[in-house]
Amino acid sequence: MRYEIILTQTAIETYEAIFEQIQTGWGDKVAGKFEVKMFEVLHQISQTPLIFKSIVEKATVRKGLINKNCSFFYEVNGNEILILFFWDNRQDPLFT
């Protein structure tokens, strides 16, 4: 079974901010590699949505990893995966 990926408006905004930061700091090539990796990981969860662990604070939310500097948070609802937002791991931690 393949799950449909849906991005919230917050997910789109946070992804664009991180992408722009990468593009500005490291150039188009690195930003392009980041984008490819993001699509690969989203494709992976569309086939195996429970591959990443749920967070302690809310069991229905899972934390996925794009690379060591970027994570994303999502929920599985029926046959849909709702991407809540992306997170730059170099920021202060969301959860302690």
Q: What is the pLDDT of residues 7-61, one digit of tens each?
A: 999 999 999 999 999 999 999 999 999 999 999 999 999 999 999 999 988 999 9
pLDDT at 86: 96
User: Would you give the end-to-end CA distance of the chain in angstroms?
Assistant: 34
Fold of 4-88: YaeB-like fold (3.30.2310)
pLDDT at 92: 63
62-81: per-residue pLDDT in tens? Answer: 999 999 889 999 999 999 99
Cα–Cα dist 45/17, whole Å: 22
Q: What would the mean pLDDT of 80-85 be, rounded to a whole number? A: 97
pLDDT at 96: 43
Domain ranges of the chain: 4-88
What 3-state DSSP class applies to 23?
helix
pTM of the model as a whole: 0.89
- Name beta bridge partners: 65: 71
Cα–Cα dist 16/11, whole Å: 8
